[in-house]
Amino acid sequence: MGYDSYTLRFFFKFVLKKIASFNGKIKHIQKQQWFNWD
């Protein structure tokens, strides 16, 4: 059980990092579009 919770915690952190980097890419693209509209 301890091993399972540790694995889940590691996987959760990994997913959060992926989501954070994905959101960062989206914000970067939105900034580029905003500047392109000017």
Vertex 27 angle, CA 21 and 22, to 5°:
25
Structure tokens given for 31: 């900034």
| Side chain identity at residue 18, one-letter code | K
Q: What is the pTM of this model?
A: 0.55
Q: What is the pLDDT of residues 1-38, one digit of tens each?
A: 567 888 999 999 999 999 999 988 888 877 777 666 55
**The total number of structural domains that make up the chain:** 1
Q: Which domain holds residue 27?
A: 1-38
